[in-house]
Amino acid sequence: MNISIGCDHAGFDYKEKMKAYFQSKGFQVQDHGTYSTDSTDYPDYAHPVAADVEHGRSSFGILICGSGNGVCMTANKHNNVRAALCWLEEIAELARLHNDANVVCLPARFIPYEQAEKIADKFLNTAFEGGRHSRRVEKMSCN
């Protein structure tokens, strides 16, 4: 499975660990930066990750910033991207099961790395439930 990952300076350390973790599990990981802890602008990294998902180059995206909100808002500007801000495994699971989310957004300043890894793992390994939820997901787009 191909995934894309990106972050701002607040998420850099988490991104580096998470990239290595998922590569060790056999995922192909496209890293869109940032590549240091130097202050940077989260949209510069959220847009390329969301574009990969939007255009089918990646099955899923992982975005990390301080609160998770900035990357989430940015990613959701893209067609067919359903980015979910997740701070618990249960929220990640429901985002996949019920909302067919395809980008998980993580708040690095508010959860420990171990929790972020578990959230992303749960997200990537949970299938969309479909059924009545499909009808709802189809109504999300403004297009």
Strand 28-31, strand 83-85: pairing: unpaired
Cα separation values, 96 from 17, 38, 60, 69, Å:
23, 32, 11, 18
pLDDT of 143: 67
Residues catalogued as catalytic:
65, 98
Q: How many CB atoms lie within 10 A of CB 10?
A: 21
Residues paired with residue 30 on neighbouring β-strands, in sequence order: 4
Alpha-carbon distance of 17 to 99, in angstroms, equals 27
Could you list the pLDDT tens digit for every one of the 143 residues in the chain?
999 999 999 999 999 999 999 999 999 999 999 999 999 999 999 999 999 999 999 999 999 999 999 999 999 999 999 999 999 999 999 999 999 999 999 999 999 999 999 999 999 999 999 999 988 999 888 86
Alpha-carbon distance of 15 to 30, in angstroms, equals 11
**Element of type H or E holding 114:** helix 113-124
Torsional class of 68: left (φ above 0), alpha (ψ -120 to 50), beta (otherwise):
left
Enumerate domains of the chain plus CATH numbers: 2-138 (3.40.1400.10)
pLDDT of 36: 98
